[in-house]
Amino acid sequence: MLWRWGCRCLLRVVLVPGPSLPSDSRRLILLNMRRSAAPSQLQGNPFKKPKFISPARSHPSPNEEVAKLNSDIKLFEVAANKNNFLQPQNDPRTCNFNLPTKECAKGINHGDNYREKYCLEASTKTTLDLHHTVHSAPKEITVSKGQEEKPDSLVKYFSVVWCKASKKKHKKWEGDGVLIVKGKSFTLKDLEGKDIGRGTGYKLKELEKIEEGQTMMIGGKEIEVMGIISPDDFNSGRCFQFGGGCSAILSSSQAAKKCFSNPFKSVCKLSSKENKQNSFQSCKPRHDPYAPNSLVMLRPDKNHQWLFNKNCFPVVDVVIDPHLVYYLRPHQKEGITFLYECVMGMRVNGRCGAILADEMGLGKTLQCISLIWTLQCQGPYGGKPIVKKTLIVTPGSLVNNWKKEFQKWLGIERIKIFTVDQDHKVEEFTKSPFYSVLIISYEMLLRSLDQIKNVKFDLLICDEGHRLKNSTIKTTTALISLSCEKRIILTGTPVQNDLQEFFTLIDFVNPGILGSLSAYRKIYEEPIIISRQPSASEEERELGEQRAAELTCLTGLFILRRTQEVINQYLPPKIENVVFCRPGALQIALYRKLLNSQAVRFCLQGLLENTSHLICIGALKKLCNHPCLLFGSIKEKESNSTWDESEERNLYEGLMNVFPADYNPIMFTEEESGKLQVLSKLLAVIRELRPAEKVVLVSNYTRTLDILQEVCKRHGYAYTRLDGQTPISQRQQIVDGFNSKYSSDFIFLLSSKAGGVGLNLIGGSHLILYDIDWNPATDIQAMSRVWRDGQKHPVHIYRLLTTGTIEEKIYQRQISKQGLSGAVVDLSKTSDHIQFSVEELKNLFTLHESSHCVTHDLLDCECTGENHTGLRAAMTWIFEKKNFFLPPPLCF
Ligand SMILES: Nc1ncnc2c1ncn2[C@@H]1O[C@H](COP(=O)(O)OP(=O)(O)OP(=O)(O)O)[C@@H](O)[C@H]1O
Ligand SMILES: [Mg+2]
């Protein structure tokens, strides 16, 4: 027997197989609810067992029952029958059961079999049955570890209702709960996962006998057992069914199925003459859905129509403008289809949010522009446009880039864009009916929030939206306060395995879908984090993994991430070089001194505050970039009044004596830093061998950029610079200038933290990462600035690392943790918070002086790093004194 709970009524739906039933061997029987006091019963709790109805027994006919129901339920039934959504779950791709099936309309291109691919992709991640409200009624109490185990390890799960113990005849149940019985003890949890009762020492026999319908007194609470929960439903967290998330997804499975209406045929009769005329005019799709290569969006199913087509307009195909389709890559067509279905509420019923987390350079901007243009001109109901006004919020440096992209793909006539800057205020936009798209930076948004709130935006796009991962920052609260329902986050850098940040992003696009934060913590975050700790038991590990898989599955419906591989074929080759540079003599002396400082020794003994090691790490990183940076920091600190008590004093003690007595940081030399020396020669090689090519030089620190700028000046290289201080209004101009073939700039100095995201720097084909970040995503972000659509030359990436130092250790950590950026769609990978054990700190705070590349040694690779071709060979040759090691890329 399969059963499910109706989505918005006090009724249960029971599906009974039987020989005399219709073709799909099942029918729906709608039962009146047995009781209604507990909250879940008002919303529908699938883990409450409905009254069993034997297939052989006679029931009231479905028709009789249906007659009692409201139209909502009728629709539910019809949709169910039509779409066969209650089919047995033989398909291993159960996780994606909710996804729309392949279009039925022959000859219409609905996006390159996207759904099939998506299904397969996700199915490799988890085999969980998302369609959790449809499952076999449990036959017997399930035991988690096999019947033959000791009774103490037997675990059973029950859905219950509970109230405080009382002698009243008519109980008023206070809530639903989950009862976990393990050996002689039990735990009672509410549906937010919180423990509300515990007990131990019960008679084993009594606990073993618990069955459905039984009432019991435990831990001062009276409970009634409503049903048995399978270990799988408990482990995945589905039994908690909180926050409406599950029911939303449940409904979508009914909704998102196949098309059923002819695009040219009205679904219902329109009464007035005027309506008929309107419908006649707008009945035709804007573009021909049958034209070759046309890209047609999924037609709304009956459930969607019932919800959103109250006026019974005819259903019209929504077809992407062929002018755009001509340029779209296959993954972009899929992306547009995905975004359309999300914002139209076709994927998760009643939720219109999406996260497009494609890797950098995949053209998220074009996908959004195509969506906006489509929704602004078309809609599935009578062709009526879905969106009038769109708000795009983006980092300041990208405001004009968005405008440029609109113009690039749609010209200046089709759509009117307003960008906010110093001279163009939001008022201008609000007063004019002329503009349909407002592009604003996050900073300006905060300043103009009141005016923005007065405009009714139908679509909100947050570019580089990972910055919204912190729910307490002003920008996030400001954006949450906007009433717009259709919300899209664009990010090439998805959240790095922080489950709380992940929640914030999800909750922003689809508010409430994961329930309250406290429930989310109990049901997902805690078990997942516990499972990742080395001390986790096998049971905890399994629970955590299953909860992670379920979370991935739930959110996978509205998160899409593709990797750069999908555009590799359109791009020139990319050659990545990791250049290990030997530190200079001064650097080595200072490094040794720092490692011998009291601060570092205390850190290793665990005697200092948590953050102290970060100060030590910061000092070592500065030193690797150039000793003059460390010199500057010490001088600055010395003049500070708190210097005497500060931890830095312990770190820097005696360091000044290592510098030459007359050391002047302004007069720094290249020889003092191994990396700077290599950089200077590398620039010379590029200049000599590839005079027409340009270089993007990236650092995380503005002070380091100052040094690099000075090097440019000394060598007479024309340069341009973009960092956090660059006024937003000038940023696009600087980027355009560098990208122009007429520009004489040889070098683009870029602060990766301040301006790395989203920029197109295809004018440069060499990118040098002068320093390394803990987070590999920051480096990948920077690299993606040059290796993207529009790049004409083969791209060379050089990552400079100081041999034997902390930089190598960070790099090793990066390569061992690479792949984490997939975290947004695969949360089951380990956490990457920077928490160091004393062992790790010991490793970090060691200088390896004898090796020319510790990372290479670790690989046990025999190569000498000498057999290079092309530019790499030239580099090796031109350098008179080989103060670097360049292993072949395949080494790593
Ligand atoms: N189909 C296409 N054909 C040619 N060029 C394209 C196509 N799609 C995108 N581009 C170009 O590729 C470049 C990168 O696109 P875009 O800036 O949208 O990437 P992105 O996904 O937003 O990356 P990031 O995460 O770095 O911001 C842009 O110059 C854009 O015009
Ligand atoms: Mg972008």
Instruction: Choose one of 397, 788, 792, 821 to mutate for the ligand 1 pocket test, by most ligand atoms within 8 angstroms of C-beta.
Output: 788
Q: Is 125 in the pocket of ligand 1 (CB under 6 A)?
A: no
Ligand 2 mean position, distance from CA 396 (Å): 12
CA nearest neighbour of 405 among 500, 458, 327, 300:
327
* Encoded amino acid at 779, one letter: D
Ligand 2 mean position, distance from CA 332 (Å): 13
Query: Quick one: angle between helices 330-343 and 114-125, nearest 10?
Result: 80
Q: Is 46 in the pocket of ligand 1 (CB under 6 A)?
A: no
273 Cβ neighbours under 8 A, 6+ residues apart: none
* Encoded amino acid at 336, one letter: I
Copy the structure tokens of residue 768: 């040098």
700 and 747 part of one domain = yes
Ligand 1 mean position, distance from CA 760 (Å): 8
Does 106 fall in a domain? no
607 Cβ neighbours under 8 A, 6+ residues apart: none
Q: Given this model, what pLDDT does residue 626 score?
A: 98
The CATH number that applies at residue 287 is 3.40.50.10810
Name the residue with tokens 């069993």: 52
Q: CA 344 to CA 349: how far, in whole Å? A: 9
Instruction: Choose one of 295, 324, 358, 365 to mutate for the ligand 1 pocket test, by most ligand atoms within 8 angstroms of C-beta.
Output: 365
600 and 688 part of one domain = no
Last-in-domain residue among 610, 631, 663: 663
Range of the domain at 727: 572-578+668-891
Does 219 fall in a domain? yes
Does 513 fall in a domain? yes
Q: Is 756 in the pocket of ligand 1 (CB under 6 A)?
A: no
420 Cβ neighbours under 8 A, 6+ residues apart: 399, 426, 429, 438, 439, 440, 441, 444, 448
Atom 16 (ligand 1) nearest CA:
363
Nearest-atom index, ligand 1, CA of 789: 12
Does 76 fall in a domain? no
Does 393 fall in a domain? yes
Q: What is the DSSP code (8-state) at residue 679? A: H
Ligand 1 mean position, distance from CA 844 (Å): 38
Q: CA 233 to CA 543: how far, in whole Å? A: 11
Q: Is 758 in the pocket of ligand 1 (CB under 6 A)?
A: yes
Ligand 2 mean position, distance from CA 365 (Å): 6
Nearest-atom index, ligand 1, CA of 363: 18
Nearest-atom index, ligand 1, CA of 359: 25
Q: Given this model, what pLDDT does residue 607 score?
A: 67
Q: CA 294 to CA 369: how far, in whole Å? A: 17
Widest Cα–Cα separation across the chain: 101
Q: Is 493 in the pocket of ligand 1 (CB under 6 A)?
A: no
Instruction: Choose one of 329, 336, 761, 789 to mutate for the ligand 1 pocket test, by most ligand atoms within 8 angstroms of C-beta.
Output: 789
622 and 752 part of one domain = no
165 and 179 part of one domain = yes
Does 851 fall in a domain? yes
Does 8 fall in a domain? no
490 and 538 part of one domain = yes
* Encoded amino acid at 737, one letter: G
Instruction: Choose one of 760, 762, 792 to mutate for the ligand 1 pocket test, by most ligand atoms within 8 angstroms of C-beta.
Output: 760
CA nearest neighbour of 464 among 708, 714, 778, 747:
778
* 695-699 vs 135-136, strand pairing mode: unpaired
Cα-based distances in Å from 463 to 392, 394, 451, 492: 7, 5, 21, 9
Residue pair 515/245 in contact by the 8 Å Cβ criterion = yes
* Sign of the CA dihedral running 398, 402, 403, 408: positive
Does 44 fall in a domain? no
384 and 457 part of one domain = yes
Q: In sequence order, which ranges of 25-113 are alpha helices (DSSP H)?
A: 39-43, 62-67, 71-83
554 and 595 part of one domain = no
Count: domains in the chain: 4
354 and 463 part of one domain = yes
pTM, 2 dp: 0.68
Nearest-atom index, ligand 1, CA of 405: 31
Q: CA 838 to CA 823: how far, in whole Å? A: 27
Rounded to the nearest 5°, which phi and psi values hold at 23?
-50, -40
The CATH number that applies at residue 700 is 3.40.50.300
890 Cβ neighbours under 8 A, 6+ residues apart: none
207 and 303 part of one domain = no
Ligand 1 mean position, distance from CA 405 (Å): 9
Q: Any long-range contacts for 652-661 (C-beta under 8 Å, 24+ apart)?
A: 652/597, 652/619, 653/597, 653/598, 654/593, 654/597, 655/590, 655/593, 655/594, 655/597, 655/630, 658/586, 658/589, 658/590, 658/593, 659/586, 659/590, 659/627, 659/631
Give me the half-sphere count of Cα atoms (radius 13 Å) on the Cβ side of residue 181. 26
691 and 657 part of one domain = no
Last-in-domain residue among 503, 535, 565: 565
Ligand 1 mean position, distance from CA 332 (Å): 10
pLDDT along the chain (892 residues), means of 10: 30 30 30 35 40 34 36 31 31 29 40 37 29 30 40 75 77 82 84 83 75 79 83 81 41 33 36 50 84 96 92 94 96 98 93 94 96 97 96 93 95 93 90 94 93 95 90 89 96 75 93 92 90 85 90 92 90 91 95 92 74 85 96 84 69 91 93 95 92 95 96 97 88 93 95 77 96 81 88 93 94 64 34 62 88 84 70 61 72 66
Residue pair 317/285 in contact by the 8 Å Cβ criterion = yes
Q: Is 808 helix (H, G, I), strand (E, B) or coil?
A: helix
CB-count exposure of residue 479 (10 Å: 0-12, 13-18, 19+): buried
Sheet hosting strand 11-16, strand order edge to edge: 27-32, 11-16, 2-5, 135-136
Residue pair 247/45 in contact by the 8 Å Cβ criterion = no
Residue pair 589/663 in contact by the 8 Å Cβ criterion = no
Find the distance separating the first CA and the last CA of the chain, reported in whole Å: 55
798 Cβ neighbours under 8 A, 6+ residues apart: 577, 579, 682, 766, 767, 768, 769
Q: Given this model, what pLDDT does residue 697 score?
A: 97
Q: Is 784 in the pocket of ligand 1 (CB under 6 A)?
A: yes
Q: Is 701 helix (H, G, I), strand (E, B) or coil?
A: coil
Q: Is 471 helix (H, G, I), strand (E, B) or coil?
A: coil
Residue pair 403/397 in contact by the 8 Å Cβ criterion = no
CA nearest neighbour of 705 among 724, 683, 732, 731:
724
217 and 321 part of one domain = no
Last-in-domain residue among 647, 663, 679: 663
593 and 526 part of one domain = no
Atom 1 (ligand 1) nearest CA:
328
